[in-house]
Chain A
Amino acid sequence: MSERSLIVLQRLTAMVLAPCVIAHVAVIAIAFRDGLTAGEILGRVQDNVGWAAFYALFVIAAAVHAPIGLRSVLVEWGALPRRMVDIVMAAFAVLLLITGLRAVFAVVWGAP
């Protein structure tokens, strides 16, 4: 993928992540004010397609955004050659995507 695409993707995903993070933190703050248990939370989100869609989008945006930023940090502060950093970061993106989507699926529809 070209550098130009990476810059654009990082910016686009940032635009997705900003409202996602705000909604995520706001929901946590509101939900826990009444002292919800894990069971109550699961009861609310299970089979909730809207919740699943929101967090799936969140996971996809984070899986694209984070490795691009981390890549810059590794190029500047790490000892790995650029090519190796790209490979490691591509693997990191896949790892974030799989574990993140698996978690969303497991919460909404039960462990696969």
Chain B
Amino acid sequence: MTDTIPVRVWRGGDAGAFQTFDVALRDNQTVLDIVTDIQRRQDPTLSYRFACRVGVCGSCAMTVNGVPRWTCRTHVAKVAAEGVLTLEPLRNLPRLKDLAVDMTPFFDKWQKAGGTFEGRKTRDDAVDPVKPGSRARKAADAAIECINCAVCYAACDVVDWDPDYLGPAALNRVWTLVNDRRHARRSDTLDKAAQSGGCGSCHSQGACMRHCPVGLSPTESIAGLKRALLFSLLGGRL
């Protein structure tokens, strides 16, 4: 007989309740495997979101036993030490149905934070070389691999307290742009990073850094933005 695990899954939107499913345990099973198993074998109406299943697309994040995680790379054996799995949608985002949230506010804030590259050259100009070993490029490299999964956004208490706060992911993106020597509007980008609800709202609690599935440190990126704002004083931009 196969071992099973009780899985409590949030059903519904804001007004909903947990429904418990018993799911067969398998070797090397991920939390996403569990959710897929429930949908295929027990309840096809279960809503959740995924695409790549290999930790690249950033679409399968959920709250697993109270912690925001990418479910496709989270092994059940590692997170269900108590023998129970509780699955909820991500925190800090509007609940649509079951395990799916509305990501619109998250991506709207990416836009609002001003993370848009603007070049200063045309296609007729020579390519502007970026030295891989330069300090700015190293800073950008450390932050660039974000997969937009919103785990940091769900983990952040400041996002929870202040709905205007842009959040770790959007500001992390801005930090990569500030360190891009090809970017034409660095000062404007810093201005936007400093807007109400911008980098000044971060308390450096580090929840984003702790939970980021790809090991980035938005906390450090935001500290970098604050530092860059201070140094911009030297350029007379206050």
Contact = CB atoms under 8 A, between A and B. Distances in A.
Interface of A: 2-8, 10-12, 72, 75-77, 82
Given A3-B200, A4-B191, A5-B238, A11 B226 contact: yes
Contacts of A6: 200
A45 B16 CA distance: 67
B238 to A, nearest CB: 5
25 contacts: A2-B194, A3-B194, A3-B195, A3-B198, A3-B200, A4-B190, A4-B191, A4-B194, A4-B229, A4-B238, A5-B238, A6-B200, A7-B200, A7-B226, A7-B230, A8-B229, A8-B230, A8-B233, A10-B200, A11-B230, A12-B230, A76-B161, A76-B162, A76-B201, A77-B161
Nearest to A9: B238
* Size category, B interface: 10 to 19
B152 interface: no
Interface of B is mostly: helix
Contacts of A76: 158, 161-162, 201
Given A2-B194, A72-B200, A82-B196, A7 B229 contact: yes
A1 B203 CA distance: 21
Contacts of A8: 229-230, 233, 238
Contact of B194 (A7, A12, A82): A7
A102 B71 CA distance: 60
Interface of A is mostly: helix
B187 to A, nearest CB: 10
Contacts, number: 39
B231 to A, nearest CB: 10
B158 to A, nearest CB: 7
Contacts of A3: 194-196, 198, 200
A2 to B, nearest CB: 7
Nearest to B227: A11
B161 A7 contact: no
B199 interface: yes
Contacts of B201: 72, 75-76
Interface string B121-155: 00000000000000000000000000000000000
**7 closest A-B pairs (Cβ-Cβ)?**
A76-B161, A4-B194, A7-B200, A76-B162, A3-B194, A11-B230, A3-B196
Contacts of A82: 196
Nearest to B233: A8
Contacts of A72: 200-201, 203
B160 to A, nearest CB: 9
Contacts of A12: 230
**Taking each of A7, A10, A12, which has the highest tally of chain B beta carbons within 10 Å of its own beta carbon?**
A7
A72 B195 CA distance: 13
A77 B194 CA distance: 21
